[in-house]
Amino acid sequence: MMRCYIEGIGLLGPGLDGWVAGRAVLAGDADYLAAPTNLRASDMLPAAERRRAGVPIKLALAVGQEAFLQSQRDTSKASTVFTSSGGDNDNVHAINGILATAPREVSPTRFHNSVHNAAAGYWCIAAGSHEPSTSLCAYDASFAAGLLESATQVAVDGAVVALIAYDHPYPEPLHAVRPIAAAFGMALLLTPQQTERSLAALEVDFVLGKTTETTMKDAGLEALRRGIPAARGLPLLAALAGGKPAQISIAYLDDNHLDIRVSPC
């Protein structure tokens, strides 16, 4: 079992425009109303970098910035774990199109945005961070893999870690074979010790074998959880929004899972 504390939360998805606005919906105190994800370029980036930022960069920086603003911590003083099932899917589609036609010339901007740790690179520029950063991909288990890695760094290294998860749809024809329902991102600022700004304690266990995953009560939110790998963390956000002790389960790779106990501070 690994224990850590949550100091900040970031959220951006369809009808979930920030943690403050989305908290009442996730707690069941307000109706969920589907709406396009409110994507915007982050003011953390210089103007030139803002113009080059694709959807995943906008998602990652928006939720990361919200989590840090809530925690009041310096963005340059925390390790980061980025996790996504696909990375920049628009860019993958565009590069495939370029490579399938003549001349096969990929621009430097498209090339450097195609690597899976592109979001981490933009974050480090925006945050002025030289702290360790990890970028993960684990298909539909990407959120669980990110949480497991983050909790491990907090428990083993005593590090303050920002977990940032994001996914967005592929254009057609890739969408037909790998459908992702919508653009979605969430972030958790995790610390090794409880502070006056701690929102909740988490106890994270890796457990062998299958389990029945924790689902969302609202049908629209459950569709997001099932349709977007990064949104597999929604039950954890719902538990945090509820402000009561809770235990949830999230599927991991190879039919294993994570058990997570949430205790409000």
Spatial contact of 91 and 99, defined as CB atoms under 8 Å apart: no
- The dihedral region occupied by 116, where left means phi > 0, alpha psi between -120 and 50, and beta the remainder, is alpha
Q: Which residues pair with 250 in a beta bridge?
A: 258
* Distance, CA of 126 to CA of 118 (rounded, Å): 12
Q: Which residues pair with 248 in a beta bridge?
A: 260
- Helices 19-26 & 234-242 angle (0-180, nearest 10): 80
**pLDDT single digits (tens) 8-58:** 999 999 999 999 999 999 999 999 999 999 998 888 988 888 888 899 999
What is the per-residue pLDDT for 206? 97
| Domain-wise residue ranges, the chain | 2-198
Average of per-residue pLDDT values in the chain: 95
Query: Looking at the predicted structure, is the pLDDT value of residue 106 above 90?
Result: no
Strand, helix or coil at 96?
Answer: helix
**pLDDT single digits (tens) 121-151:** 999 999 999 999 999 999 999 999 999 999 9
Question: Between the CA atoms of 120, 122, 124 and 126, what dihedral angle is there, to the nearest 10 degrees?
Answer: -140
Spatial contact of 239 and 217, defined as CB atoms under 8 Å apart: no
Spatial contact of 201 and 15, defined as CB atoms under 8 Å apart: no
Residue 90 token pair: 């628009």
What is the per-residue pLDDT for 177? 96
Quickly count: other Cβ atoms within 10 Å of residue 112's Cβ: 12
Q: How far is CA 84 from CA 117, 131, 167, in A?
A: 10, 20, 6
* Distance, CA of 241 to CA of 202 (rounded, Å): 14
Q: Which residues pair with 83 in a beta bridge?
A: 136, 165
* Distance, CA of 45 to CA of 140 (rounded, Å): 30
- The dihedral region occupied by 158, where left means phi > 0, alpha psi between -120 and 50, and beta the remainder, is left
What is the per-residue pLDDT for 79? 97
* Distance, CA of 217 to CA of 234 (rounded, Å): 11
What is the per-residue pLDDT for 51? 84
Using a cut of 0.85, tell me whether the model's pTM lies above it.
yes
- CATH ID of 2-198, from 2.60.40.1180, 3.40.47.10, 1.10.490.10, 3.40.50.1400: 3.40.47.10
What is the per-residue pLDDT for 169? 97
One-letter amino acid of 231: A
**pLDDT single digits (tens) 176-230:** 999 999 999 999 999 999 999 999 999 999 999 989 999 999 999 999 999 999 9
Quickly count: other Cβ atoms within 10 Å of residue 99's Cβ: 11
* Distance, CA of 173 to CA of 201 (rounded, Å): 43
Q: What would the mean pLDDT of 156-179 be, rounded to a whole number?
A: 97
HEC-encoded secondary structure of 177-228? HCCCCCCEEEEEEEECCCCCCCCEEEEEEEECCCCCCCCCCCHHHHHHHHHC
What is the per-residue pLDDT for 236? 98
